Structure 1
């Protein structure tokens, strides 16, 4: 006998009345992470993959339709689905086929609200891997595409990358541009085997470290200076296309466990990379860029960013600056902008005028870069006026920039909140690093802007000249910097102009420089 709606509702609510949880929806997926794997790194289409138990797997196309594609696209940050693709149109995946017979109504906000046969329960092969094609427009509230969630092999998080300098000449460079590649995994730095290492791999590593390009390395000098034994290599082999914004997006093979017959790195050699710093980070004695490159660089600029290497993307067309629409905007195109401006790859592609709305025309929309273009003008794009873009869709970027060590040479003390306080800097006095305060003579907003940027705290909202109201700061702290004059574009106070002998004409400790910053994150 069929139950009435009222009886069905009563049976659902009965466990709640008895203090028990309601029956769960059968074969619910739980919390899921999705990604699209497809050609040309287009973010809006590709093979649908799901992360479960730390491993990426595919979805079978059985019973998959527009409702399921809509839910997947919405979860991935797009407005809607255009269609779906069956029979492994985007290539056959690897690993498990996690889901089969996914069943969605179409109104769900994520696949974990849909039903299925259950994890790994399927009668499919990878020739049935499903793909989806989403509308390239991002939905409101989806603010950025970032590499911070990049996952490597078996879902392991590959965090920072660094170059460990080996040669004496490389150790003297700031920033470090050449050395052995090391990857941070779970708080430990692991070396990378050089087996099959390519210049594409070097390009990805250099981009992560804030460098726009790479140069070949003569490994002969390094084979005599092996840093470690064979079994301490954690990453056995890396294969990158050169367009990836993070090494975790490359094919990464983890070294076999110790004790097996196959050594972790047959050659026993660590991968070595040499990068080329952009003009912002070269020593002043470095050779200038080749003639004509300056004019090329001016065709793209970043505006409204609190830090170097971030801002709203603006391009110069017909002698008029305009913005770029965020339709199809992704990390690949953002990385082309970053490298063109002398930074590394993009760590974040921002949508929805996240860093402010621009003025004037919207010059470009649906920018599609492959990743190796030298300038944004080399990429395929539409005119911004062709698809109804508004300035609320202005695209922005945050680029990887080299670690110059400047943030370790400044700190705040005595503030009520972490973004304000008395400024203390580290300078060399007779060759010895020494911490001290800054005299507030000539101290103004340009100097405070440089200090806040150096602190990693974004914009300066106030330049304090009298810091007596920060209690406990009237200690005997030596003044080590005075007469500071900044243009406001310097990376650190140590790069600003200063007069000769350090002095502060005001008596006492109350006339010392301080700042209040506003973080833009």
Structure 2
């Protein structure tokens, strides 16, 4: 595992305390309901996550059975459902899949009792088998029935509303709640009426969590059986109400996000129609962090009644894609805001104060006409995650319960906010008064969100690997790989709580970023404090330079780069057209014509900075290509590399004879003509896709190139210059 990390990750190797698990209680946490999430065990008085290094479907099957959650559907071994806040149990669990509870499965300790910080066991079970929908038109509608004491019974419609339907839809892995049905809309049931006066907040994972009493009601009849209509194929997640949010589609037995690829009014109209939510008000990409790389490209005409009637194409995003999830705001919801940006940035009742920016600080709420801090006893990871989402500040990084960001001067609110962690705003969480009604004066809730950090990692395999980006004011910029070292990477890993740095790949290994390029100076990357200070005021922009020397123009010559205050050359080992293309593009000199070797433009002086350069041709800077490292070479200046670019040369007109369509075996003449050409001179015919080039002397401002018998190898796009 350690060797694999060295190849793929920047940081993330973490050593955890030795722990041996004995008697256990199991739960799934961090998921949308009690049957989905990371696996946590209760031992020695605390809950802790299970290491995912040896986790498999046999172990998951036992968990689902123990939790009465049906059968295991799939597993995860990444922090998809978070890391949790307790210890990580590192025992290797080895179930056969037939055990009734996890605690009877054989287990053995790993030899070093360690676990990769990003290896977390997770399970998705098929759902609560004690709840079913009967007589509906699809799997997500029907009369609600629950299993109790071995008998199926119905639910009375007294007090039955859309919040109760929300809970049922979530428990059955269906889409958004659409309608609460009463008066035995789906026919009268049989047997006992188990539940009545259901009163859910809407964020519970099961009807059994809604404060219900199980008994057979004498004042309800089966003519009052409750029913639900959930969307079977679509749901809106993380919205401010049921008619807004990120669009997710159920297709081929899986929920996947709709992608913001040609997402427009037609697609949004179908979503709002299917959700019974009126007209589409806004349609755009979601600002939430991409968690699922797979998704559906959707194309609708706008007349479909369901999104599944549109063309759905499954697509797997790569780290180079800048394609987020699609979202909508429909008019039928309770939201009175009219733009998606207003919805995402609404912060009228919540703010973070006392920190370096708006995404870090103590939690303050505006209630009863005044601002006040929140007691630290009321803060947990779920609540804090919603705070970050509410403020459009990315994901949760860390919580604090001390006056790290001051105590404030107003009221101290002691209410408990009950969040599951998936809500989009704090207003969607339940509120209950604190039993104590008092708060320790040194217990202050504080939150650090990822968008408030000085540094972040982008396009990595997990949250502890990726391209390093540093905040400079309100702008994010990348870090130049010149002078980038393991010690400097360690500062980044420490700031992100990602353990030890294990690899420092350069050359845009995690793809090229945007914005300014910062220098990795020793003074800024000494420790986390110095990096914070530099981010605030003194990060230096990289001024990496390149030039061509001894050529006929500024677009031809010996390649030299400026490094550590000194100009130096590039060795011609493996030097070719893709490398020359990058140089020409970096200098704004158009296409590469030649990649020269053997000091074609004379020997240089000073250091030979680069050797064994291997570009793909698409890089923006020569130093982003693969090379041995600055100053590492086995060359002399008789091997200095050079290039000739098109530059600002005149571009001739190209004509083709005998016709614009060419057949196999035809004799083809390509004529290049330029009106301003002087007598003499040379024309060059090149091919965009490869290194093919022909030269002809100009006669009367033109030159003709003959291809006597064309074949498929000569297909392509041609250009000419003089």
When normalised by structure 2's length, the TM-score is 0.26
Higher normalized contact order (CA 8 Å, seq sep 6+, divided by chain length): 1
Higher share in helix: 1
Q: Which has the larger radius of gyration?
A: 2
When normalised by structure 1's length, the TM-score is 0.34
